[in-house]
Structure 1
Amino acid sequence: MFTGLIENIGKLVSMTPFNEVYKITIEAPSIASSLYLGQSVAVSGACVSVVAYDTSSFTADLMPETQKRTKFKYLRPGALLNLERALQVGNRLDGHIVSGHIDGIGKIAEIKNEGLTRQLCIETEESITETIVEKGSVALDGVSLTIIEVSRNWFSVGLIPTTMKDCTLGQARIGEIVNIETDILGKYVLKFMSFGREKKISDSPNGLTIDRLREMGWMQ
């Protein structure tokens, strides 16, 4: 589990296919020597496990699902990546609960500067936005951010100066692809509601469902 507060920025050294997985090597001298085999690291939001490391870099394996879901398939050597090691028990949860399991990708459609702050508008699929709410949380490239607005196929977030300085989003450009992980709580609620539409909530002979409760005015 992660918090969405970036520790360091690493640089992609290589990403090569090997026996149906991709081996990704990242230059990260500030944290590499403190890692251990099997340790979880969020790389631009995607949780990977360390399989090798030295004093200046580490290597992890990417499953085909990770390659398919994330922006990694578009990256080239030299790309900058946000890095966060897993949350330690007892630490403050200053961001929000981030699992490191990417839901999909989006494209930066607009960048708006407002004084020292900045807004990013992200175009994405409706399957992503349906679990996003205004003033809720989302992780973009592993960064915990607050939602400003949300529509069917886009949403916007705000960046403060510290965030822009400490992660790659401060250098983001229009058209850039970003990894997206929506709030885990929203996904569970959506799953429950979808289940309720198809199944009976109880064994009541009346066939009580979410839609029936809504018709009777008990839900909106």
Structure 2
Amino acid sequence: MFTGIVTAVGRVVAVTPIGGGRDMRLRIETPAGWLDGVALGASICCSGCCLTAVSFDAAGFEVEASAETLSRTTLGTWGVGTRINLERSLRMGDELGGHIVSGHVDGVGEVVSVEPENGSHRWTFRLPAALAPYVAEKGSVAVDGVSLTVNAVTRDSFGVNLILHTTEVTALGTKRPGDPVNLEIDMLARYVARMMAFRTEMAA
């Protein structure tokens, strides 16, 4: 589990096709000391995707992504030089500064626009129709692993306001209109929707 509070920005330094070219292995460079205390097999949130560290050293770590992961996330578009948001898994007693994030991407969205708004910028993201019912004004959503508060919603998009600090300490600052992003809906919204659907089924 994660909180959606990014603690470092990594960089892809190698991409190696595996599994007959259907899967891939990535090496991700990290800031000095960021991996201190990490164990082999640790879960690391990489721009919203929970991935397993299959190898690591002082300079970075390696992960493997299956064809399923590549087809349902933005990982298939990553190449050498791609900057990604990093967060290590939550430990009991850690501060929960964002919201509960599982690292299981629900769908791929798209940056629609970035517009100045007072001291921040209003970002608008398009999202898949299947996810729209789960995104609510003043609710939470994870965009590339970053916990954000939704400020506006339409039938096929939502808006958030990002302060300069957020774009400086995460890889969101590198995104431009048209770029894809990984989306994870709020876990609470998922369960509330399932409960309502179940009640409807039982009443039918």
**TM-score, normalisation: structure 2:** 0.93
Q: 1:193 to 1:17 in 2, by over 3 A?
A: farther
Distance (whole Å) between structure 2 residues aligned to residue 34 and residue 175 of structure 1: 38
User: Unaligned regions of 5+ residues in structure 2, if any?
Assistant: none
- From 16, 23, 40, the counterpart of 1:21: 23
- From 91, 100, 104, the counterpart of 2:103: 100
- From 41, 59, 68, the counterpart of 1:38: 41
In the TM superposition, what are the counterparts of 1:71-220 in structure 2 within 5 Å?
71-198=74-201, 200=202, 208-209=203-204
Distance (whole Å) between structure 2 residues aligned to residue 148 and residue 92 of structure 1: 24
CA-atom RMSD, angstroms?
Answer: 1.4
Distance (whole Å) between structure 2 residues aligned to residue 58 and residue 29 of structure 1: 11
Q: 1:51 to 1:138 in 2, by over 3 A?
A: same
Distance (whole Å) between structure 1 residues aligned to residue 197 and residue 71 of structure 2: 25
Counterpart of 1:167, as a letter, is T
User: Unaligned regions of 5+ residues in structure 1, if any?
Assistant: 201-207, 210-220
Q: Deviations over 1:141-164 (max 9, x none)?
A: 000000011111111111122212
Q: CA deviation at 1:115?
A: 2.8
By relative contact order (CA 8 Å, sep 6+), the higher-ranking structure is 2
Equivalent residue, structure 1, for 2:6: 6
Q: CA deviation at 1:93?
A: 0.5
Query: 136-145 or 70-79, which moves further after superposition?
Result: 70-79
What percentage of residue pairs aligned between the two structures are identical? Answer: 38
Q: CA deviation at 1:33?
A: 4.6
Counterpart of 1:116, as a letter, is G
Q: Secondary structure at the match of 1:59?
A: strand
Structure with the greater alpha carbon radius of gyration: 1
Query: 98-107 or 189-198, which moves further after superposition?
Result: 189-198
Counterpart of 2:116, as a letter, is N
**TM-score, normalisation: structure 1:** 0.86
Aligned residues: 201
Distance (whole Å) between structure 1 residues aligned to residue 154 and residue 145 of structure 2: 22
